[in-house]
Structure 1
């Protein structure tokens, strides 16, 4: 697929650069810290478990503030919101790298998560503002690359910086990119606003507490250092906050989230299917790193280079997704991508040595997973009206993050159970059966995809005639 620069205005090209950069920064930052935890634990003279709070606090910041990111952007304007979030992200990156206190690190990461919560959803909202629906397919094939490549390159970049410099550089590397994106935002982005209802503070507080507790519970669920009592209290507290949010929200004249969006078939199907797919592929990312490091005794840095094969698959997918959508439509393209991802995950269950089969599995996983995400992320907004864009973006982004966390729990629990019944000490067979389970989980989204009509999303395509 060729993207002709002449077909787009300067504002659209710069906007796409800004959005892609924001997505790349946020996705790298969410994953890069994991490889530095041992060295950071030594610096702070604390346990690895305690340091995980720095990872969790970032995710909690994301979870709390993503639901209101659309409202904030519509109320104060996309440019103002982006400027605030980019500056806050850069300042907190600087402080994270400078601090010598674990408490200050957790606080800075929480505020960095707040900045990330505004950057990415508002960036996606900006995409909907500056591109017509007919241009969305091409725009998303470019913008979707950082979403997929970020988690893959993060371990490689993090491993390099930690090995040859210091863990502090994994934060400082954000600063030059932030400055560049900030200058482009100030110069080229308009301050789009949308009239909004009154802000429902009580609903936000209960929803924020619910999401924060769920995020924290998902993060500590498998940690033996955390007692069963604390895990139970977290779960019960999350359920209580969720119930109180539901009560307040359903009685409010100014709901934070517009649940009438679920009456739209394309949004409803993509919302639930995306959670399932992200759970399956989030579990895959977690499992694959362990598989390479434990079964084949690779370091985290060395294992990261194998993901280059997946990156090649991700980049190659954009060459056919646009053509497939124009010719066959969203339902057929998404079905093929979903089935392809199912079989690609099964290939990992056949890998018994480092070689061609592993490379093929990584490449095909990149191809089909990228096609899944690009197709669903475009179809999300096929029936959404412009005044509902902010709410739609916030709602989708909130639960996508939780889907990934849920996938890690599913993969880790399944691996533990398989390992117990098959063979001790993380046998390769246990990994194989867990990959099979994730493949089946991914396939489960097909029941939702089948609810789509053949012509769903036709208004997003350049060609309105689909192959029969």
Structure 2
């Protein structure tokens, strides 16, 4: 990248650090869940709401992030996002019950949801078009480093300090970010303020929340039968109402014409359903290692390193593979491999050789990384300039929604199998985990059928674009 002027360079670092905070906090908590559960008097198998609340809040706010920045200015919104993130982090550390912790994660998610979209918007309006791709590549690096450090750092803090510090470490970084924002973030806003589709946003947000709560309610909220069905009906009715509303409104949140682009429609559906399976792995694997195999938090965090390292190494091979075989073949075959690799964790046992575990994690990390890169680029590749921003926002929302629903679904499945096998002994709990991995792997395997509908001629024509969020 050409050396930018000093203010622009400072802006790049500011946005990158904000992205790092958001991606680190999305992963650092996973290895700490058993320790947090013990401290709060909860079962470690019922802590999914802590993860779901953060991801779901981000999914809800992402569609409104652009309008909020245009209305109040990038500097004020980015500053407020960091403040919310820090306040949420402090509230998480002070929580004395699961309800307080979930509420604090909502506040934290409100801040995290605005960090990357608003920072990316500031770059889009400040960096020359010729340098934008290089700028986004620079900012995307923390999106890879955060998940790399998160699980290990979380395990280390839990083992040698306490779980509260996985949130308190955000405070000094956030305070420094606030000062840097006042100096280096330009105060940009749209020349023409567009109207915000508040009614459509309310319908879409309500639909996302109720569907996610229905899934999470099976295990996290203690809902059964009627309650789950009622929430599901309300959720899907609200999403359907939004779709009908968007077709009549001249300025909807997401243009209905977007869904007339085959690669975007298939890419979004594929993202949603394949991530329902694979998105639960950062949640399930540390739980398996600590609850059923008696790993320490630090050792469980270290065991997540192969996934991140293999994911980073796989990035360089993604474009050549897609150029040679095309998106459809790569995604159909690779989705099946992701599902089968996930299901293979159902064979895990406490006496499994460490080398075999590491190979298993490396393979999953590699195929999962290729999956994310291929899904993200096929979704956005055919969007023109007028639709690129809206399509990118929609993809980011679907990614976070799929992550929250995936964790909720995996928890519901794990809770169901725990009732079948019992939880009185570590062996019974291990059997429940094994069945859960097999089931979630089959969910991912089934999503390969969605990618079969991609046009066979769709291939990469340029290096893979930078990831649009911290989730892949």
Match of 2:309 in 1: 312
In 2, Cα distance between equivalents of 1:99 and 1:414: 27
Match of 2:362 in 1: 363
- Residues 266 and 380 in structure 1, CA contact (< 8 A), matched pair in contact too: yes
Match of 1:454 in 2: 457
Match of 1:466 in 2: none
Q: Is 1:372 the counterpart of 2:371 in the alignment?
A: yes
Match of 2:383 in 1: 384
In 1, Cα distance between equivalents of 2:7 and 2:90: 30
Deviations 1:41-79 (A, max 9, x none): 777788989987665543443233222113323444545
In 2, Cα distance between equivalents of 1:122 and 1:28: 18
Instruction: Return 32-41 or 275-284, whichever deviates more.
Output: 32-41
- Residues 73 and 390 in structure 1, CA contact (< 8 A), matched pair in contact too: no
In 2, Cα distance between equivalents of 1:227 and 1:164: 40
- Aligned-pair CA distance for 1:418: 6.2
Deviations 1:251-295 (A, max 9, x none): 333312223212223322221111122112123333323432344
2:316 counterpart SS class: coil
Instruction: Return 118-127 or 209-218, whichever deviates more.
Output: 118-127
- Aligned-pair CA distance for 1:313: 0.7
Match of 2:280 in 1: 283
- Residues 263 and 378 in structure 2, CA contact (< 8 A), matched pair in contact too: yes
Q: Is 1:253 the counterpart of 2:250 in the alignment?
A: yes
- Residues 78 and 122 in structure 1, CA contact (< 8 A), matched pair in contact too: yes
Q: Is 1:274 the counterpart of 2:271 in the alignment?
A: yes
Instruction: Return 428-437 or 314-323, whichever deviates more.
Output: 428-437
Match of 1:24 in 2: 20
In 2, Cα distance between equivalents of 1:333 and 1:46: 42
Root mean square deviation of aligned Cα: 4.2
Q: 1:433 to 1:107 in 2, by over 3 A?
A: closer
Structure 1 unmatched runs, 5+: 463-468
In 1, Cα distance between equivalents of 2:319 and 2:4: 17
1:320 counterpart SS class: helix
Out of 156, 159, 163, the position equivalent to 1:163 is 159
- Residues 85 and 111 in structure 2, CA contact (< 8 A), matched pair in contact too: yes
Q: 1:305 to 1:441 in 2, by over 3 A?
A: same
Match of 1:345 in 2: 342
Q: 1:69 to 1:38 in 2, by over 3 A?
A: same
Match of 1:115 in 2: 111
1:222 counterpart SS class: coil
- Aligned-pair CA distance for 1:222: 1.7
How many residue pairs get matched? 457
| Equivalences for residues 52-451 of structure 1 within 5 A | 57-97=53-93, 107-125=103-121, 130=127, 136=133, 146-147=142-143, 150-151=146-147, 153-182=149-178, 185=181, 190=186, 193-194=189-190, 195=192, 197-223=194-220, 225-226=222-223, 228-324=225-321, 330=327, 334=331, 337-352=334-349, 353-415=352-414, 426=428, 431-432=433-434, 434-450=436-452, 451=454
| TM-score normalised by length of structure 1 | 0.79
- Residues 152 and 304 in structure 1, CA contact (< 8 A), matched pair in contact too: no
